[in-house]
């Protein structure tokens, strides 16, 4: 089993990683955003994992409103995070507890559980390649090139 430790703002691929772990534990302030549409692409590659974890409706909200941060509480309510803690220390205690419990669990039982958890993802190798093709095509568009230049100049001015 893979435990995710989310302790800072989580954007784009970070949201995808949080969705792809078996059990994500976050700390307050670990807000989330899928910003890809704001620069002319979309969360095509991370989308399947995020949608699987939080559902189509919440995924569409994150994808469409690409400049708005959603709170860590929102992420917990949408099941991106299994647990939410008020401090890194409390989060780390919970991670240690769970990791210790899993270390003493049956590897065979955990492997069988993972098969159940990930049922329906057998075609993801092909799906992710198709999604990466879409991203690759869009990232080369004039819109995206201009959006990235604007983003870079904004961050450099800050």
Each residue of 16-30: pLDDT tens digit? Answer: 999 999 999 999 999
Residue-wise pLDDT tens digits, 91-105: 999 999 999 999 999
Q: Give the H/E segment covering residue 73.
A: helix 72-77
Distance in Å from the first CA to the final CA of the chain = 40
Phi then psi for residue 27, to 5 deg, are -120, 150
Number of C-alpha atoms within 13 angstroms, CB side, residue 67? Answer: 5
pLDDT at 122: 93
Confidence at 158, pLDDT banded by 50, 70, 90 = low
Domain limits for position 91: 3-157
The CATH number for 94's domain is 3.90.226.10
pTM score, whole prediction: 0.88
The pLDDT tens digits for 60-84 are: 999 999 999 999 999 999 999 999 9
Whole-number Å distance between alpha carbons of 58 and 76: 12
Domain count, the chain: 1
Tell me the two tokens of residue 75: 């992420």
108-117 long-range Cβ contacts below 8 angstroms, 24+ apart? 110/1, 113/1, 114/1, 114/22, 117/22
């Amino acid at each position: 089993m893979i435990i995710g430790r989310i302790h800072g703002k989580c954007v784009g691929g970070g949201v995808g990683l949080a969705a792809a772990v078996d059990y994500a534990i976050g700390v307050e302030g670990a807000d989330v955003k899928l910003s890809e549409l704001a620069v002319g692409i979309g969360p095509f590659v991370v989308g399947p994992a995020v949608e699987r974890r939080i559902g189509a409706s919440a995924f569409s909200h994150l994808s469409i409103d690409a400049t708005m941060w959603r709170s860590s509480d929102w992420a917990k309510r949408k099941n991106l995070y299994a647990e939410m803690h008020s401090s890194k220390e409390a989060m780390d205690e919970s991670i240690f507890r769970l990791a210790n419990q899993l270390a003493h669990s049956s590897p065979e039982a955990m492997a069988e559980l993972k098969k159940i958890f990930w049922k329906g993802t057998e075609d993801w190798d092909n799906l992710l390649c198709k999604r990466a093709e879409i991203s690759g095509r869009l990232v080369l568009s004039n819109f995206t090139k201009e959006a990235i230049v604007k983003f870079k100049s904004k961050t450099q001015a800050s």
